[in-house]
Structure 1
């Protein structure tokens, strides 16, 4: 007498059913990764720090009065002179770079729940890293020049005239440098997380 296996009770049917149920569960799995609290906190800090750095430098301005001697027989003239962030290309680059980093951090916070955005966000973090460090270097170099001058090319120091301007610029550079290091730490954590979850290792 010929025996007929009932579908769903044979081993093959059970195996295929388990495979289908597994694939269905995988398809039904959520596409959004779990929220990384440390990563979100770092991104919020980077957003706030770059915003503060851009605003402080963008509002930096000071007008001082200097004495100009035309001739020894004439009394010196009192001339008002103004220092402003837009007069320096290094400070302009600093403000633009920090503003771009701030906007990117806001976009990254909105997209951090999407798995498809992991690779683009890492590339964006690398670009922001380069922007912040280069902007900090350019602004710091110009600030040191204003603080100490350059005797080789006969450029005099000006921070003794614009003390408040230089102090605010230095504060903005320090805040942006801290934001750059925070972005570096976040990028290192993201690389380690990808390495840990990679199927190649």
Structure 2
């Protein structure tokens, strides 16, 4: 009889410990979603408000660099905005996981959508990274000159927005790993 009572007590303690760890994982999930939202929103705003105009010879002839001159940067802004909206919409589900850390089906749904948003964000950031590289270095074989020597502010802002977006990519990867850990503990 004592052996059975001891086993039941150990199982109960293990269950309470597992529940505490799962709640901690859920709280970390919530915090990381907020961080990822800030990264993607900041990136979308920084890129979407990028605009620089340089005078050329006279006041009437000017060169202008704006984010929507390149479709890649427009895709970047849209991708970051969609992922940011998804992250805000996923916060209530993340709060639900804090309250009920044993929920599995909703966590699986979040993992599926997290992976899709990771793919979208990675596509937008990677495509824009190629254009930013060309803006900084140019390509002499294709006669594309670097524009960052003239448009300093423009290049600083688009580079900064890339950093925020790739930060969001890393946080989304962490979210997927956290969800996988939470699901594997069941």
TM-score of Structure 1 vs Structure 2, range by shorter chain: 0.7 to 0.9
Q: Partner residue of 1:162?
A: 151
> 1: distance between equivalents of 2:93 and 2:181?
20
1:58 pairs with 2:40: no
**How large is the Cα RMSD of the aligned pairs?**
1.8
> 1: distance between equivalents of 2:143 and 2:59?
23
Q: Partner residue of 2:127?
A: 138
Alignment deviations for residues 81-122 of structure 1 (CA, whole Å, 9 cap, x no partner): 111101111111110110011000011101221634222211
Higher relative contact order (CA 8 A, sep 6+): 2
Taking structure 1 as the reference length, the TM-score comes to 0.73
Alignment deviations for residues 125-157 of structure 1 (CA, whole Å, 9 cap, x no partner): 001111111111111110110111111111111
Following TM superposition, the consecutive aligned residue runs of length 4 or more in structure 1 with deviations greater than 3 angstroms are: none
> 2: distance between equivalents of 1:66 and 1:157?
17
Count of residue correspondences: 157
Using the TM superposition, give the Cα deviation of residue 34 of structure 1 relative to its aligned residue in structure 2, in angstroms.
Answer: 4.7
| Runs of 5+ consecutive residues of structure 2 not aligned to the other structure | 1-21, 98-102
Larger Rg: 1
Considering fraction of residues, name the structure with more helix.
2
Taking structure 2 as the reference length, the TM-score comes to 0.79
> 1: distance between equivalents of 2:23 and 2:160?
36
| Runs of 5+ consecutive residues of structure 1 not aligned to the other structure | 1-32, 68-75
> 1: distance between equivalents of 2:167 and 2:121?
10
Using the TM superposition, give the Cα deviation of residue 171 of structure 1 relative to its aligned residue in structure 2, in angstroms.
Answer: 0.4
> 2: distance between equivalents of 1:127 and 1:62?
34
> How does 1:102-141 map onto structure 2 within 5 Å?
102-112=84-94, 113=96, 115=103, 116-141=105-130
